[in-house]
Amino acid sequence: MWESESESGAGREYGSGLLTSTKHSLKTEGFQQRGNCWYVSTDIPSDLLVQIGDANFHLHKYPLLSRSGKLNRIIYDSRNPDLNKIVMDDLPGGPEAFELASKFCYGIAIDLTAGNISGLRCAAEYLEMTEDLEEGNLIFKTEAFLSYVVLSSWRDSIVVLKSCEKLSPWAENLQIVRRCSESIAWKACANPKGIRWSYTGRVPKVASPKWNDMKDSSPSRNQQVPPDWWFEDVSILRIDHFVRVITAIKVKGMRFEMIGAGIMHYAIKWLPGLMNKDTSIPGEEGSNSSTSNSISSSGGSWKGGLHMIVAGPRDDTSTLQAKDQRMIIESLISIIPPQKDSVSCSFLLRLLRMANMLKVAPALITELEKRVGMQFEQATLADLLIPCYNKNETTYDVDLVQRLLEHFLVQEQNESSSPSRPPFPDKHVSSNINAKTRVARLVDSYLTEVSRDRNLSLTKFQVLSEALPESARTSDDGLYRAIDSYLKAHPTLTEHERKRLCRVMDCQKLSIDACMHAAQNERLPLRVVVQVLFSEQVKISNALANNGSLKEGAESHYQPMIPNRKTLLEGTPQSFQEGWTAAKKDINTLKFELETVKTKYLELQNDMENLQKHFDKLLKQKHSSAWSSGWKKLSKLTKMTNVENHDISPQIPTSEEQNRKTTTRRWRNSIS
pLDDT at 537: 75
pLDDT beyond 50 at 384: yes
Query: What residues contact 540, with CB distance under 8 A and at least 6 apart?
Result: 587, 591
pLDDT at 196: 56
Query: What residues contact 296, with CB distance under 8 A and at least 6 apart?
Result: 320, 324
Q: What's the pLDDT band for 32 if we cut at 50, 70, 90?
A: confident
In this predicted model, which residue has the larger pLDDT, 150 or 662?
150
Q: What's the pLDDT band for 614 if we cut at 50, 70, 90?
A: confident
SS3 content of the chain, % helix, strand, coil (to 5): 60, 5, 35
Tell me how many domains the chain contains. Answer: 2
Give mean pLDDT, residues 30-39. 81
pLDDT beyond 60 at 625: no
Q: How far apart, in whole angstroms, are the C-alpha atoms of residue 533 and residue 546?
A: 20
Q: Give the SS3 label for residue 86.
A: strand
Whether 635 is covered by a domain: the verdict is no
> What count of residues does the chain have?
672
pLDDT at 96: 92
Q: What is the pTM of this model?
A: 0.70
Give mean pLDDT, residues 643-669. 46
Q: How far apart, in whole angstroms, are the C-alpha atoms of residue 592 and residue 162?
A: 80
Where do the H-state alpha helices sit in 320-470? 320-335, 345-357, 362-374, 381-384, 398-417, 425-450, 458-465
pLDDT beyond 90 at 5: no
Q: How far apart, in whole angstroms, are the C-alpha atoms of residue 105 and residue 73?
A: 17
Whether 66 is covered by a domain: the verdict is yes
| Among 365-369, 525-529, 628-632, 653-657, the range of highest mean pLDDT | 365-369
Domain boundary, last residue among 152, 168, 202: 152
Whether 243 is covered by a domain: the verdict is no
Q: Give the SS3 label for residue 84.
A: coil
Domain boundary, last residue among 479, 509, 539: 509
In this predicted model, which residue has the larger pLDDT, 431 or 663?
431
Whether 473 is covered by a domain: the verdict is yes
Amino acid at site 513? D
Domain boundary, last residue among 466, 490, 509: 509
Residue 380 backbone dihedrals phi, psi, to 5 degrees:
-120, 165
Q: How many helices, marked H, and strands, marked E, lie in the chain?
A: 29, 9
Whether 123 is covered by a domain: the verdict is yes
Q: What percent of the chain has pLDDT over 70?
A: 68
Report DSSP letters for 632-651, one per residue: HHHHHHHHHHHHHHHHH---
Q: How far apart, in whole angstroms, are the C-alpha atoms of residue 60 and residue 65?
A: 9
Instruction: Give the count of beta carbons closer than 10 Å to the beta carbon of residue 396.
Output: 18
Amino acid at site 364? L
Give mean pLDDT, residues 422-437. 64
Q: Write out pLDDT tens, residues 576-587.
A: 455 556 666 767
Q: How far apart, in whole angstroms, are the C-alpha atoms of residue 572 and residue 265?
A: 44
Report DSSP letters for 132-186, one per residue: TTSTT-HHHHHHHHIIIIITTBHHHHHHHHHHGGGSTTHHHHTTHHHHHHHHHHH
In this predicted model, which residue has the larger pLDDT, 535 or 90?
90
Residue closest to 252 by CA, chosen among 329, 189, 197? 189
Q: Write out pLDDT tens, residues 563-579.
A: 444 443 444 444 445 55
Whether 296 is covered by a domain: the verdict is no
DSSP class of residue 279?
A: P
Q: What's the pLDDT band for 27 if we cut at 50, 70, 90?
A: low
Q: What's the pLDDT band for 267 if we cut at 50, 70, 90?
A: very high
Q: What's the pLDDT band for 451 if we cut at 50, 70, 90?
A: very high
- Give the number of C-alpha atoms closer than 13 A to the C-alpha of residue 133, restricted to the C-beta side: 24
| Among 18-32, 266-280, 537-551, 617-631, the range of highest mean pLDDT | 266-280
- Average pLDDT over the chain reads 76
Burial class of residue 520, CB neighbours in 10 A (0-12, 13-18, 19+): exposed
Q: Write out pLDDT tens, residues 339-367.
A: 988 999 999 999 999 999 998 999 999 99
Instruction: Give the count of beta carbons closer than 10 Å to the beta carbon of residue 545.
Output: 10
pLDDT beyond 80 at 663: no
Q: Give the SS3 label for residue 396.
A: strand
Q: Which domain holds residue 43?
A: 30-152
Q: Write out pLDDT tens, residues 292-336.
A: 444 444 333 333 333 333 344 444 445 888 889 999 999 999 999
pLDDT at 637: 55
CATH of residue 99: 3.30.710.10
Whether 599 is covered by a domain: the verdict is no
Q: Write out pLDDT tens, residues 280-303.
A: 444 433 334 344 444 444 333 333
Q: Write out pLDDT tens, residues 175-234.
A: 999 999 999 999 999 876 655 555 444 444 433 333 333 333 344 455 677 888 899 999
Whether 20 is covered by a domain: the verdict is no
Task: Please check whether residue 519 is in contact with residue 590, taking contact to mean a CB–CB distance below 8 angstroms.
Answer: yes
DSSP class of residue 387?
A: B
Give mean pLDDT, residues 142-168. 93
Q: What's the pLDDT band for 60 if we cut at 50, 70, 90?
A: confident
pLDDT at 666: 44
Give mean pLDDT, residues 152-157. 92
